[in-house]
Structure 1
Amino acid sequence: MSKIEYRTLNDLAYDRIREGLMAASFHPGQVLVIRTLAESYGISTTPVREALQRLVAERLLVLLPNRSIAVPGLEAAKYAEIARIRCELEGLAAELATPRLGKPALRKLAKLVSDMDASLERRDHDAYRRENQAFHFAIYSECGSPRLFQLIQDLWSETGPYMKELFGAPAYEPKANEAHQALLRALDRREPKTARASVIADLTVAGGFLIPHLEALEASRDGKAKTST
């Protein structure tokens, strides 16, 4: 195998794992098994191992004392900190993208909002998460700043696994698509500031449900740990 081919496989493994983090394909605290990942991607274990080490260096994964590599566990304070940063960056990206989105892009976004409604109706939360990411990234990718979009993707890689817990707060579901509908209206009317506010509202509403849920999970986990000692 040539060096170029090897690097391509390394990058493939890195991209697939990172995409899995963004899409909530992995659970918080999940140990990632190199052989299992390699088989699912159809490649050897070496590129997967090196991709995992790269993600550990980027603090998207953690190295456990037994040398296993895992998705970081749930931390309410960490999520709250990242959510505040996401509000600023994603709000800016939406504001910048508003005058750049043409009618075909707006039709695509409207279809995704409709798809999210349908997914929520049938309680298909995995489909909703995929459509939610596609909706947001279709907007942010048009912001005209590749560096800004990259920063947003980095933060999604950190918070993606937390999205597995979002629907653990049942009251969130009826609210899940409201800010998307408001954002779509702002984009259609070419209102950059309103688009920015709608993105911030979306993240704030989600955080308002998710952070207390994470705090409750942490308290339960800590209580069990004390009981077992």
Structure 2
Amino acid sequence: MTKQPPLSIHLPPRQDSQTVTQWAYQSLRNALMVGQIPPGRALTIRGLADLLGVSPMPVREALRQLAAENALEILGNRRVMVPQMTAMKFTELCEARIALESHAAVRALPYVDKERLEQLRQLDLEIDRAQESGKLEQINRLNQHFHRLLYRANPHQVTLPLIESLWLQLGPFVRLATQQLQDHYQIDRHKEAINALERQDSLALQLAIGSDIRDGLAFAGTPEMLSRFLNGNNQHAQ
């Protein structure tokens, strides 16, 4: 059995309005979403409690919430695990992302004003700088911020919780995707999306968002590549 390296996750400051359980849930959720917890990684409640500096009780409740979102699997020996992935499930998650996020972007388009458009431009520049500096986690966080900022322009949107659920399930694979962006992400799809927003072109926006997701996950672009990647990670996690 290969010894697993120590786990390190970013711990955000706890807000006065947050309970310990809410903070533990948010910390673990963010870590999963940006790929700080690798695929197949086995975790213990005690280990996570020590990592977060809290008692096991709030961690246990946070893990129950994450398991309900299909982000974690609770095992029978007080351990939890990032669920292992199959090629079919991976493909289904990616296609669901494209469908939901293309819809969310198009529905947000009429509500994107000049101020939000400028915010999206600045975020895209920050992502470019993070890529040049090789700051993988920052790329992931900024990319999710870009998409949230766009979708939340629609005051009536209801799909973001569903979208974030998909981000959670794909999160453990995000780091590998980010490491290979230069190989597969040759066109800045965010700039395409911004241009489409300027022109109020819903079809171009839909295509840009779909291409952004496909290019970002192109490291698993064929069933053979995906199977090799999944098998390698599942074996490494044992």
Following TM superposition, by how much is the alpha carbon of 1:60 offset from its aligned partner in structure 2, in angstroms? 1.4
Distance in 2, matches of 1:65 and 1:42, equals 24
- Structure 2 residue aligned with 1:59: 70
- Structure 2 residue aligned with 1:195: 205
Following TM superposition, by how much is the alpha carbon of 1:143 offset from its aligned partner in structure 2, in angstroms? 2.7
Match of 2:89 among 78, 103, 110: 78
Is contact 1:74-1:214 (8 Å) kept? no
TM-score normalized by structure 1?
0.83
Per-residue displacement from partner, 1:128-179 (whole Å, max 9, x unpaired)? 111111111111122333421111111111111111221454653552x611
Following TM superposition, by how much is the alpha carbon of 1:51 offset from its aligned partner in structure 2, in angstroms? 1.3
RMSD of aligned alpha carbons: 2.6
SS in 2 for 1:32: strand
Is contact 2:120-2:149 (8 Å) kept? yes
- Structure 1 residue aligned with 2:228: 216
Per-residue displacement from partner, 1:107-141 (whole Å, max 9, x unpaired)? 11111111111111222222211111111111112
Counterpart of 1:59, as a letter, is N
Following TM superposition, by how much is the alpha carbon of 1:199 offset from its aligned partner in structure 2, in angstroms? 0.3
Is contact 1:143-1:149 (8 Å) kept? no
Is contact 1:119-1:128 (8 Å) kept? yes
Distance in 1, matches of 2:65 and 2:173, equals 21
- Structure 2 residue aligned with 1:132: 143
Is contact 2:87-2:227 (8 Å) kept? yes
Is contact 2:184-2:215 (8 Å) kept? no
| Stretches of structure 1 lacking an aligned partner (at least 5 in a row) | 225-229
TM-score normalized by structure 2?
0.80
Deviates more, 1:111-120 or 1:185-194: 185-194
Shift of the 135–215 alpha-carbon distance from structure 1 to 2, 3 Å rule, reads same
Q: Counterparts in 2 of 1:99-114, with a 5 A limit?
A: 99-114=110-125
- Structure 2 residue aligned with 1:227: none
Following TM superposition, by how much is the alpha carbon of 1:188 offset from its aligned partner in structure 2, in angstroms? 2.2
Identity of matched residues, %:
30
Deviates more, 1:48-57 or 1:162-171: 162-171
Deviates more, 1:19-28 or 1:62-71: 62-71
Distance in 1, matches of 2:173 and 2:130, equals 19
Counterpart of 1:182, as a letter, is E
- Structure 1 residue aligned with 2:10: none
Considering fraction of residues, name the structure with more helix.
1
| Stretches of structure 2 lacking an aligned partner (at least 5 in a row) | 1-15
Is contact 1:28-1:162 (8 Å) kept? yes
Counterpart of 1:115, as a letter, is E
Distance in 2, matches of 1:152 and 1:170, equals 21
Distance in 1, matches of 2:148 and 2:230, equals 30
Distance in 1, matches of 2:233 and 2:161, equals 34
